Amino acid sequence: MSYDAAGYPPFAVTVDLVALTVRDEALQVLLVTRGEEPFAGVRALPGGFVREGEGLLAAAERELAEETGLHAGTGAGRAHLEQLATYGEPDRDPRMRVVSVAHLALAPSLPEPRPGGDAAAAAWLVVDEALAGPLAFDHAAILRDGVERARAKLEYTSLATAFCTPEFTVSRLRRVYEIVWGTPLDPRNFHRKVTSTPGFLEDTGRTVADGPGRPAALFRAGATTTLHPPFLREG
């Protein structure tokens, strides 16, 4: 035991980011490739040390901006950001005792990420493929927890709109649900559900024609954050 003078063991505290988006009809996660040991060359969640005088959410916002250029909040070019869980098993990092506060970020489809920051090449990967391959540290478990959190929150919150651009159609929102949940949904029942939930969608009055078929009405995210009644999976 090497407690310091203050009577407590020192820890390193990091934030890791589970940044999810819906791209190319698939749920994708932002991963970096590690440049140094341990796990050199292995993919990992983006993250970094929390700085002195910096809050946990602020550190996650900084990491998100460094890796993607996105800022937290709601609105155009903004991503949803929330704390996910904290991982601190003693042996999760072979170098030292690290406690990692994982955060979940949800964003609309983006162009390629900027490979800036201290991280190596960052790229969006399909979640299933990312979980099939090796991930550094306990990041596979963190990613699974993040995906499950996102899936669960689609049920009882309006969080799916965080995967959409500021204005979107009902079918685009339905594709988000289908892709994140991995199950097909009836377009007519889905339309009835989301349009009849008060405060979920806000009509812009305009329509867009995208490919064949009747043009769809354009909506914005409404003020409601929690869905009553919820929108449950697997009847």
Q: Which chain residues interact with its own copies by CB under 8 A?
A: 1-4, 6-13, 49-56, 83, 85-90, 96-97, 99, 101, 228-230, 232, 234
CA-wise closest residue to 45 among 119, 98, 95, 107? 119
CB 109 within 8 A of CB 116: no
The contacts of residue 165 (CB under 8 Å, 6+ apart) are 76, 108, 109
The region of 101-109, 113-121, 129-137, 165-173 touching DNA under the rule CB under 7 A is: 165-173
205 binds DNA (CB under 7 A): no
The contacts of residue 119 (CB under 8 Å, 6+ apart) are 32, 46, 66, 67
Q: Which is nearer to its own copies, 139 or 172 (CB)?
A: 139
Indicate the Cα dihedral angle 149, 154, 157, 158, nearest 10°. Answer: 130
Please name the residue that has the structure tokens 């003078």. Answer: 5
Q: Which is nearer to its own copies, 23 or 233 (CB)?
A: 233
Contacted by 189, from its own copies, DNA, none: CB < 5 to 8 Å by type? DNA
85 binds DNA (CB under 7 A): no
Q: Which is nearer to DNA, 56 or 185 (CB)?
A: 185
Helix (H, G, I), strand (E, B) or coil at 42: coil
Query: In whole angstroms, how close is the CB of 218 to DNA at the nearest point?
Result: 8
Query: In whole angstroms, how close is the CB of 99 to its own copies at the nearest point?
Result: 5
Neighbours of 218 (CB within 10 A): 19
Contacted by 171, from DNA, its own copies, none: CB < 5 to 8 Å by type? DNA
109 binds DNA (CB under 7 A): no
